[in-house]
């Protein structure tokens, strides 16, 4: 499970150092793709395959499933981190997420998310009040 918040920098070649605690799980290969809220999702290859196969089981007559799968897969790039634990973020995905030199990488359970730091800070500021006031109806039986 991916957890925590990290603040690596994007280098001039579009490479990002993966947080050390995430490297073992991602060492054999990963998929980076468009995420929701203009961040990037990074999945271990096996998790991405499992998720994509699950989505592909939806009928092609389901417009929501078609749209989601198209956006997810058309932006996907399979990568293997180098020996220093860096992964190249393709230019189209850097542009989609508005990535600058300062990035925030968060663990989000089954995936890693990569955010431009300013965008992450704005998102967190807007989402935190709702998080603080959630009731158990959002996730029944959670607490």
pLDDT in tens, 29-51: 999 999 999 999 999 999 999 99
- Per DSSP bridges, beta strands 30-34 and 40-44 are antiparallel
Place of tokens 């699950």: 54
Domain assignment present for 138: no
pLDDT exceeds cutoff 60 at 143: no
Residue with the larger pLDDT of the pair 85 and 52? 85
Question: What is each CA distance from 14 to 20, 22, 125, 127, 143, in whole angstroms?
Answer: 18, 19, 27, 28, 41
128 to 22, 101, 113, 115, 131: CA distances (angstroms): 25, 25, 17, 16, 5
In a domain, 23, yes or no: yes
Can you tell me the mean pLDDT for 99-113? 97
Residue range 4-22: average pLDDT? 96
Residue 71 lies in a domain: yes
Query: Which residue bears the tokens 């359970």?
Result: 109
CATH code for position 15 = 3.40.1550.20
Tell me the pTM. 0.90
Q: Look at the chain and report how many structural domains it folds into.
A: 1
Between these two residues, 6 and 130, which has the higher pLDDT value? 6
70 inside domain: yes
Distance between CA atoms of residues 55 and 69, nearest Å:
7
Domain membership of residue 25 (yes or no) is: yes
Report in angstroms the alpha-carbon separations of 84 from 17, 47, 138, 143: 8, 23, 40, 40
User: For position 40, what pLDDT does the model report?
Assistant: 98
Tens of pLDDT, residues 54-69:
888 888 898 988 898 8
CB 32 within 8 A of CB 114: yes
Q: Residue 81 sits in which domain range? A: 5-132
Q: Kindly state whether residue 140 falls inside one of the protein's structural domains.
A: no
Q: Is the pLDDT of residue 141 over 70?
A: no
- Residues forming beta bridges with residue 114, ordered by sequence position: 40, 105
| Residue 107 CB contacts under 8 Å (≥ 6 apart), including other chains | 1, 2, 3, 4, 5, 22
Would residue 106 count as lying in a domain?
A: yes
In a domain, 142, yes or no: no
């Amino acid at each position: 499970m991916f957890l925590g918040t990290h603040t690596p920098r994007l280098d001039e070649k579009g490479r990002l150092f993966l947080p050390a605690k995430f490297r073992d799980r991602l060492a054999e290969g990963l998929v980076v793709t468009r995420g929701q809220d203009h961040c990037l999702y990074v999945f271990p290859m096996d998790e991405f395959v499992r998720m994509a196969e699950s989505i592909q089981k939806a009928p092609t007559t389901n417009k929501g499933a078609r749209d989601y799968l198209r956006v997810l897969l058309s932006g996907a790039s399979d990568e293997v981190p180098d020996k220093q634990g860096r992964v190249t973020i393709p230019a189209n995905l850097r542009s989609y997420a508005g990535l600058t030199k300062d990035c925030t990488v968060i663990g989000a359970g089954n995936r890693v998310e990569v955010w431009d730091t300013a965008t992450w800070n704005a998102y967190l500021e807007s989402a935190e009040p709702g998080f603080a006031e959630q009731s158990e109806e959002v996730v029944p039986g959670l607490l």
